[in-house]
Amino acid sequence: MSLPAHLKSRHLPLGDQRTGRFYGQDILSVSQFTRDDLEYIFGVADAMRNMVAHIGTFDLLKGKILANLFYEPSTRTSSSFLAAMERLGGSVIPISEVRYSSVSKGESLPDTVRTLECYADVIVLRHPETGAAAIAAQAARKPVINAGDGIGEHPTQALLDLYTIRQELGRIDGLTVTMLGDLKYGRTVHSLSKLLSLYDVNVHYVSPDLLKMPADLVAQLNEHGLRQTEHATLEGVLPESDVLYVTRIQKERFADLNEYEGVKGAYVITPETMRSAKPRMALMHPLPRVGEISGEVDHDPRAAYFRQMECGLYVRMAVLAMVLGKA
Ligand code: ASP
Ligand code: CP
């Protein structure tokens, strides 16, 4: 029987009998997860949260090394993976600026990951090209975790997004989730909508015409039974939304900056907007924000985006512990 590309059990050390969920596996796409997997991951993340609250740092991954390989800018993903590894007693090779690595001499992605896996036990990769994480995973024997591949996916973000929704609203089934902004280039909404298709939810997409959710993804999710509707304005759907997931217009993905100028600032959430929202709603954003949510909203109890970032630490601790066979 041939193993799917993300299964690397064949590379486990001889005699290693550990069968923990995701042990030795790549995390490339949320399509890998079942609902049961998600409940398991969230349970481990809850345990990580407790451990951090009570003892701060502990030695679950003592002696393990993570290579943090970022070809694109990042604050949250890179530093939360770093903090996750250090909270678990492991250490990190940080390559957050590939310009200063041999990538700038022309070294290929496969050779770069082959190099790093000589020194590390797991590789976290962010790259501007869709599919780059899968290419890296093919080249590497060690697990590769996709930290964002172009406009493709950002699976650990979607895990932390769903974990946040569960934390904020206590459930996922039965909710109405509205995604707003750049649904064409935003990889976080691509991953999140796929994960939501595992649940009984209604999803509204609100975007300028130019930045609609890719039609092939909508069709694929339709086949999975996800109830989706598309809109140009927020007003009609906001009052029934349990989650409003706002995104940044992804300036760096536009070939024509005039097009970006035409859509930037299309939607801005203000205290006035929040007046039409449910009293119990989660206002989320993967961040960074560049004007889509006004700072005046930050003190609204429904503003969940800072709590969302914190969830990233616990979820990434869970993912690292799992792929390294310790959870
Ligand atoms: N930080 C997220 C990402 O890397 C969202 C964004 O940059 O707008 O996809
Ligand atoms: N949400 C997110 O991926 O943030 P960074 O781009 O700062 O890592």
Nearest to 92 by CA among 120, 127, 56, 72: 120
* pLDDT tens string 119-155: 999 999 999 999 999 999 999 999 999 999 999 999 9
What is the per-residue pLDDT across 91-106, written as a single tens digit (0 to 9) for each?
Answer: 999 998 888 889 989 9
Q: Which residues contact 53 (CB under 8 A, 6 or more apart)?
A: none
Domains for the chain: give ranges and CATH numbers. Answer: 16-153+311-323 (3.40.50.1370), 155-309 (3.40.50.1370)
ω before 94 within 30° of 0 (cis)? no
* Ligand 1 pocket at CB < 6 A: 148, 154, 187-188, 248, 250, 286
Average pLDDT, the chain: 94
User: How far does residue 246's CA lie from ligand 1's centre (Å)?
Assistant: 11
- Mean pLDDT value across residues 25-41: 97
Please state the rounded mean pLDDT for residues 191-207: 98
Query: Distance (Å, rounded) from C-alpha 76 to C-alpha 68?
Result: 12
Ligand 2 centroid to 309 CA: how many Å? 9
Protein residue closest via CA to atom 4 of ligand 2: 76
CA of 302 to the centre of ligand 2 (A): 21
* Cα–Cα nearest to 322, from 48, 49, 4, 107: 48
| Cα 147 to averaged position of ligand 2 atoms, centre (Å) | 9
What is the pTM for the complete model shown? 0.95
Q: For ligand 1, what atom is nearest to the CA of residue 188?
A: 9
> For position 14, what pLDDT does the model report?
53
Instruction: Tell how far CA 137 is from the center of its chain.
Output: 18
pLDDT band at 194 (very low <50, low <70, confident <90, very high): very high
